[in-house]
Amino acid sequence: MLYPLVLIALAAAPFALVARFAGRDRIAWGLALIPLAIFGLTLAQAGSVWEGGQVVERIAWVPALGLDLSFTLDGLSLLFALIITGIGTLIVGYAGHYLATDNGLGRFLAYMMLFMGAMLGLVLAGNVLTMFVFWELTSVTSYLLIGYKHDYADARRGALHSLLVTAGGGLALLVGLLLLGQAAGSYELSDILAAGDVLRAHALYPAAVVLILLGCFTKSAQIPFHFWLPGAMQAPTPASAFLHSATMVKAGVYLMARLSPALGGTALWDVTLAVVGGATMTFAAIVAMRQFDLKAMLAYTTISMLGALTMQIGLGGKYGAEGVATNILAHALYKSALFMLAGVIDHECGTRDLRRLGGLRAYMPRTMVITALALLSFGGIPVMFGFVAKELMLEAALETELGAMLSTLAVAAIAVTAGAYLITGWRLFSNTFLGQRSVAAMQQHITDPTPGMLIGPGVPAVLSLIIPLAFLGPISSLIGPASAAIYGKPLEVKLALWHGVNTALLVSLGAIAAGAVLARFGEQLANLRGWPAWMRGDMIFDRLIERTLTGATTLTRTIQEGRLRRYILLTALALLVFVGVPFVGFGISSIRFDLDPQLQFYEILAAALIPVGVIATINARTRLGAIIAVSVVGAMVALLFVLFSAPDLSLTQLLIEVLSTVFLLLVFSVLPVRFENFSAAWVRRRDAIIATAMGFLMGGLVLATATNDAFAPLAPFFLENSLEKGKGANVVNVILVDFRGFDTLGEITVLFIALLGIYGLLRLRQGKDNVAPERVTTTEPAAEPVDTKR
């Protein structure tokens, strides 16, 4: 019952296109029934998971490559699947309102459903290659969603960045997974997870870990790959809410969590994750404080939380596992709500710039309440779900086995981050809802949106409050198996709002206090100048792209520079290397000189006239002289043929020589009568050296091969059978028309085709552009429109 879930979501994509033709919001809520149904179906299977079991399925795809579509539902997959479909339901419905006036809604929803299917497949995959398949699909659908408003250069840029970074990481991941599979002897997750000890001792382990982490870090926007995520905010807000906060970016976290029982437990894995995660968390939290764009602010806090999750996986232990699972859920709830709310504000006010907003409490009271709930959870204020999650994070930092130093650092980082969250949350809230109504917002009549639009953010925001108050028990049974999967061992989880007064609580309270104090100075902090360009990842990446382009252009100009003789030169040099080097190395010893005492004078003469003719051709000053010299060479070749027992060849050669000369004379009549020296002296010298080398090589090859009697030739067979079986006394002709008549058939076809080609060449002359006349664009392109509302 697993793969149908994925299939349903994927199959819904074409269906979504219908939205183009019908009432927007209703269609969207109708479509939302599909994720809702998947949610229900998944939940229906939760029972067996909660009893400690797994649901496993497998469809053969490419068995020879170990690439099967295998699916497993365990605690961790279940948690993710429920988040994806649950939040997905709300967001699909929300999108109908958000994009109600957009003609592309159908396309948008189709991408969303595709993405949902891919994401479901990713978390349900029971085989790392299957997982990778869906991993890449999420990158691609994300690209399409970020670039949804592709008329704007920023949207294209953001989409390109996100795809290049995540797909580049994906490649590293693929190689890493292949190494992992190689080491474990299987690509099945269950086998890999069971082979933890073997893997950690394997020689490929470090390489595999580094590559896999590259994949995860890029996907989950860890430093220094974080920059694509703010760029991805070019996507329409429902997509941001779904992909870039609740689901896709967590794929990296998911994979790290998934593999940590097998790969974790080493300094390489644990410390890398803890340090990179911690750094990302703190850095992004501080950057978030300074943003003015609502979505950018949320994007940075998302990066921060992704760092926090990564860090907790690295910190490990029981609390690490519990913390990861709990934080994933808590974050998904409040962050998707916040994104949707940002969309609501944007939608209603026409801007999401904090400097232009303000005083909305009077006009959008419902929105304000929901925002407040979500922000409380985000800030980790007690009784909210975010608080429970943050406590676990602190426990993980305190209880980690990575040593006192890292533990202390982690605690400090969490405290700073928590404080920064408070500031961010406060800034967001106060600048939007409190104070005076700003000039920008005054120009239009502003109210709460339709209730339908508030369902999306409302449900998760309210859940953030209700869960810790009323449903900690049921949620524990969801978090428990998930934590167990991360921990790698069975785990009893009992979430609680109140753990008593312990270190975690104290730190937590300290952070709240510190944050409250800091909030007073928030504005000053926010006014700090932005990061210099060389420190901004997206700028660096732009420059990297630029450098790649210019580098590639320079390289290509150098290599493919246009002149035929340069190409010929390189080709000749390549031949000298490909053949000359092995010849000098291995073949030259095979040369034998057969000095024939009976050599006749005219034989020597004929052979000697060939080099003479060649040199005469080279040195010819006139066209006619060159043609004559070449003809002499041809005649001498014919003479050699007749001297050495080849009358047929000789005749043919002579006739062809005559005809070629006629053709040469005909065609060359348009070309200049006299030649000059075409090249500088040194060029001629260089070419002469290459030509000499070529001559020696070919002559040497002939000597080495022709004097070698390793094997008897086929020839006697033809001599023996020509008359009797071929009915002819001229063996050459019998070979041509019978023994190897098939060659001759091809040969006359060559002649015939050459004629067709020449006919076309001489009789068909078309203008410069064969396709259609060049269209002239005289006007400069208009500047691209600036997007004000996204």
Partner 1 sequence: MVFHLFIPIITPMIGGALAVLFNQQRLVARAIALISVLINLGYGLWLMSVVPATGPLVAQASGWFAPFGISLVVDGMSALMVMLAALLMLTTIIYSFYSIDEQREDHFYYPLLLLLLLGVSGAFLTGDLFNLYVWFEVLLVASFGLITLGGSRDQLEGGLKYVVLNLLGSTAFLAGCGLVYGFAGTLNMAHIAERMATLANPGLQTVLAGILLFAFGSKAAIVPLFFWLPSSYHTPPVAVTAIFSGLMTKVGVYALYRTFGLLFQNELATYGPWILLLAGLTMVIGVLGAVAQMNVRRILSFHIISQIGYSVMGLGLASAAGLAAGLVFTAHVMIVKMALFFIGGAAEQIYGTGDLKKMGGLARREPLLALFWFLGILSLAGIPPLSGFIGKLILLQVGVSQQAYLITAVAAGTSILTFFSMLKIWNEVFWKKSYDDVNRLPRVPFGLLAPGAALVILSVALGLLAGPLVDYNAIAGQQAFDRNVYITAVCGADGCEAVYRAALK
Partner 2 sequence: MIILLAIAIGALFGGATYLVLRRSVVKLILGLILLSHGVNLLIFTMGDGVRRGAPPLIDASGQPPAGVADPLVQALILTAIVISFGFTAFVLALAYRSNQAAGSDDLDDLSTTDRL
Partner 3 sequence: MHRNELPPPNRLPSRSTPRDSALYDSLILRTVSRLMMPLLLLLSIYMLLRGHNLPGGGFIGGLLAASAIILQMVAFGPKTARRILPVNYLLLAAFGVFFGAIWGLPAMVAGLPYMQAFWLPEPIPGVGKLGTPVLFDIGVYLTVIGVTTKIALLLVEEPILFPLPAMKPSPVETEDGV
Q: Is 715 a residue that touches partner 2 (CB under 8 A)?
A: yes
Nearest distance from residue 581's CB to partner 2, in Å?
A: 17
- Of the candidate spans 18-26, 63-71, 518-526, 672-680, the one that interacts with partner 1 by CB under 8 A turns out to be 63-71
Nearer to partner 1, 519 or 633 (CB): 633
Q: Is 680 a residue that touches partner 2 (CB under 8 A)?
A: no
Hey, what are 723's tokens? 């008359």
CB-CB contact of 517 with 113 (8 Å): no
Q: Please state, in angstroms and rounded to a whole number, the distance separating the CA atoms of residues 231 and 210.
A: 26
Contact pick of 597, 742, 778, 786 for partner 3 (by CB under 8 A): 742
Q: Is 564 a residue that touches partner 3 (CB under 8 A)?
A: no
- Of the candidate spans 119-127, 320-328, 494-502, 764-772, the one that interacts with partner 3 by CB under 8 A turns out to be 764-772
Residue 673 contact among partner 1, partner 2, partner 3, none, beta carbon within 5 to 8 Å by kind: partner 3
In the window 690-729, what residues touch partner 3 (CB under 8 A)?
726-729
Buried b (16+ CB within 10 A) or exposed e, 36-68: bbbbebbeebbeebeeeebbeebeeeeeeebbb
In the window 585-604, what residues touch partner 1 (CB under 8 A)?
585-587, 589-590
In the window 374-413, what residues touch partner 2 (CB under 8 A)?
none
Residue 360 DSSP symbol: G
Q: Is 556 a residue that touches partner 1 (CB under 8 A)?
A: yes
- Of the candidate spans 134-142, 270-278, 455-463, 673-681, the one that interacts with partner 3 by CB under 8 A turns out to be 673-681
Q: Is residue 759 packed enough to be buried (19+ CB in 10 Å), middle (13-18) or exposed (0-12)?
A: exposed
Residue 156 contact among partner 3, partner 2, partner 1, none, beta carbon within 5 to 8 Å by kind: partner 1
Q: Please state, in angstroms and rounded to a whole number, the distance separating the CA atoms of residues 203 and 24.
A: 56
Q: Please state, in angstroms and rounded to a whole number, the distance separating the CA atoms of residues 546 and 544.
A: 5
Contact pick of 551, 656, 658, 787 for partner 2 (by CB under 8 A): 656
Contact pick of 581, 692, 725, 789 for partner 2 (by CB under 8 A): 692
Write down the residue that tokens 């106060």 correspond to.
430
Three-class secondary structure of residue 624 per DSSP: helix
Contact pick of 41, 43, 175, 268 for partner 1 (by CB under 8 A): 175
Bridge partners, 460 (sequence order): none
Q: Can the peptide bond before residue 236 be classed as cis, meaning omega within 30 degrees of 0?
A: no
- Of the candidate spans 342-350, 483-491, 575-583, 669-677, the one that interacts with partner 1 by CB under 8 A turns out to be 575-583
Amino acid code (one letter) for 259 = L
Contact pick of 139, 218, 377, 653 for partner 2 (by CB under 8 A): 653
Q: How far is CA 646 from CA 270, 336, 606, 631, 638, in A?
A: 80, 88, 15, 19, 9
Nearest distance from residue 133's CB to partner 1, in Å?
A: 4
Nearest distance from residue 435's CB to partner 1, in Å?
A: 38
Bridge partners, 58 (sequence order): 70
Q: Is 579 a residue that touches partner 1 (CB under 8 A)?
A: yes
Q: Is 583 a residue that touches partner 1 (CB under 8 A)?
A: yes
Contact pick of 489, 499, 557, 725 for partner 2 (by CB under 8 A): 557
In the window 206-235, what residues touch partner 1 (CB under 8 A)?
207
Amino acid code (one letter) for 12 = A
574 Cβ contact list (under 8 Å, min separation 6) = none
Residue 164 contact among partner 2, partner 3, partner 1, none, beta carbon within 5 to 8 Å by kind: partner 1
With left for phi above 0 and alpha for psi between -120 and 50, is residue 241 left, alpha or beta? alpha
Three-class secondary structure of residue 740 per DSSP: coil
Amino acid code (one letter) for 212 = I
Nearest distance from residue 561's CB to partner 3, in Å?
A: 9
Residue 727 contact among partner 3, partner 2, partner 1, none, beta carbon within 5 to 8 Å by kind: partner 3
25 Cβ contact list (under 8 Å, min separation 6) = 93, 96, 97, 100, 452
Q: Is 514 a residue that touches partner 2 (CB under 8 A)?
A: no
Q: Is 679 a residue that touches partner 1 (CB under 8 A)?
A: no
Contact pick of 547, 745, 784, 789 for partner 3 (by CB under 8 A): 745
In the window 542-561, what residues touch partner 3 (CB under 8 A)?
none
Nearer to partner 3, 756 or 776 (CB): 756
CB-CB contact of 157 with 164 (8 Å): no
Contact pick of 749, 784, 787, 789 for partner 3 (by CB under 8 A): 749
Amino acid code (one letter) for 237 = T
CB-CB contact of 37 with 141 (8 Å): no
Hey, what are 86's tokens? 């649950």
Contact pick of 675, 690, 691, 721 for partner 3 (by CB under 8 A): 675
Q: Is 775 a residue that touches partner 3 (CB under 8 A)?
A: no
Bridge partners, 56 (sequence order): 72
Q: How far is CA 711 from CA 338, 707, 743, in A?
A: 83, 11, 23
Nearer to partner 2, 266 or 721 (CB): 721
Q: Is 556 a residue that touches partner 2 (CB under 8 A)?
A: yes
Q: Considering CB under 8 A, how many residues would be counted as binding partner 2?
A: 107
Write down the residue that tokens 């041509």 correspond to.
736
Residue 674 contact among partner 1, partner 3, partner 2, none, beta carbon within 5 to 8 Å by kind: partner 3
Contact pick of 47, 63, 716, 773 for partner 2 (by CB under 8 A): 716
Q: Please state, in angstroms and rounded to a whole number, the distance separating the CA atoms of residues 541 and 163.
A: 12
In the window 317-346, what residues touch partner 3 (CB under 8 A)?
none
Nearest distance from residue 596's CB to partner 2, in Å?
A: 5
| H/E stretch holding 309 | helix 294-315
Q: Please state, in angstroms and rounded to a whole number, the distance separating the CA atoms of residues 247 and 235.
A: 15
Hey, what are 65's tokens? 């490559």
Q: Please state, in angstroms and rounded to a whole number, the distance separating the CA atoms of residues 237 and 245.
A: 11
Nearest distance from residue 171's CB to partner 1, in Å?
A: 5
CB-CB contact of 281 with 305 (8 Å): yes
Q: Which residues lie near partner 3 (CB under 8 A)?
A: 566, 647-648, 651-652, 655-656, 658-659, 662-663, 666-667, 669-670, 672-680, 683, 686, 726-730, 732-734, 736-738, 741-742, 744-745, 748-749, 751-752, 754-756, 758-759, 762-767, 769-773
